[in-house]
Structure 1
Amino acid sequence: MKKTLAAAALLAAAAAAQAVPFAITAEGAISNSEFPDIANETYSVTFIFASGGNTTDTSTASRVWDWDYLTCTIWRMNTARDVVYQQDLAATPPTSGQGSFVTDASGALTMVPTRVEVDSPAAQPGQYAAQGSIQGAVKWFASNGGAGVVFIDRVGSASPRTFSTGSGLMQPSRWSAPVRVAGPCDPTPYAAPPAATPVPTLGHAGLALLAGLLGALGWRTRRRGA
């Protein structure tokens, strides 16, 4: 019994740690790119966040997620979205931020953090996934002031490479409404498991008929044995 209770407690603790993830996405224009494969075209950025320990509230209405609830960010650059930077923020959290993601009763965003950044320590190779030339120790910030977003890619002792995405990114109107997604670093829209298909069963009349047939079969078998 003690082992059973301990196993149940471990399962409950594991479930509590897996909060329901939600994602929002914004788009904008790239400028001043120093990366060879990032053009001054467009980009999209996705933030995924999840409330600490909340495994039951799947609603997006009247919610608050603090900036340090971020679990992942995914940047897709160029019109073709062929340069990708993805960072697991649960493993390498943002180093600083200010504000929260807030929704109203309809689930629409009314507030986003005014600043989120990964600065020092920067994300190191193995702490992020990149498709394209982004490599080295990567720093980034998203804010409303200055350049808005600047990627700094430090490769060895070479000069940092950057690109910017303009000001005003961290405005609620720039972002899509939160949607539930498949995982803390998986932006695939959540799909509920298919409903269980009921197994066909016999009704009362069918059960009575089956019982009668089995009884007749048993009686016949006994007569043959006699």
Structure 2
Amino acid sequence: MKKTVLIVDDEWNMRNLLKIHLMKDYAITECSNGREAIDLVKINSFDLILLDIMMPEMDGWEVCQAIRKMKSTPIMMLTARNELKDKVHGLEIGADDYLIKPFESEELLARVKALLRRAELNHDHVQGASILYSNGFFRMDQEGRQVFLKEEILELTPKEYELLETIAMSPKRVFTRDVLLDTLWGFHDYRDTRTVDSHVKNIRIKIRNKGIDYNPIQTVWGIGYKFQEPDETI
């Protein structure tokens, strides 16, 4: 069965171009505005979403944030702008990759395949285990992709969860920012380490907002990050 791709773009020419490139290998659904996209995601399970940023009424940023509240479906943002701040913002709110217009068909197909492959690997990994870590205070459930603090769910975005999971799986290892970028985003041509720092900061803030004095991601100055186990006295 073909993987399913949702194309969201207000320009018919762009939707048609994407469809031409992808329809041989993927089952395509398309829509022309953000609200329709959200409605489709609510009732369907897509394998990938190609989401244009510059759309009237509801732009791609808003659509991405709305989808992330419902699903962890991989999202590739489409944009004619090649500004670093746009890329950083998109990654911070839950996008998985970027494609700059105009693009070559080979790059489109390669990025689509890479996103779908990573999604499959993550799914297979989750199916193989359930409780990744537990000490009675802090618990990570891989099957449900959830983190619990004192049995209360910590609401994380898909990428925030994956970042914490990656570090917790190798608690003695120090991860550089470049390694985390490659592992979680697969960006070999995109080296803005602020993406990693922003996600770490968001995780720490969400835990503090729970009124809990615990930092699961320790900063190793000059190198990167490592997992920090909770103090048993907390």
Bin the TM-score by the shorter chain.
under 0.3
Instruction: Please tell me whether Structure 1 or Structure 2 has the larger radius of gyration of its CA atoms.
Output: 1
TM-score scaled by structure 1?
0.25
Structure with greater helix share of residues: 2
Structure with greater strand share of residues: 1
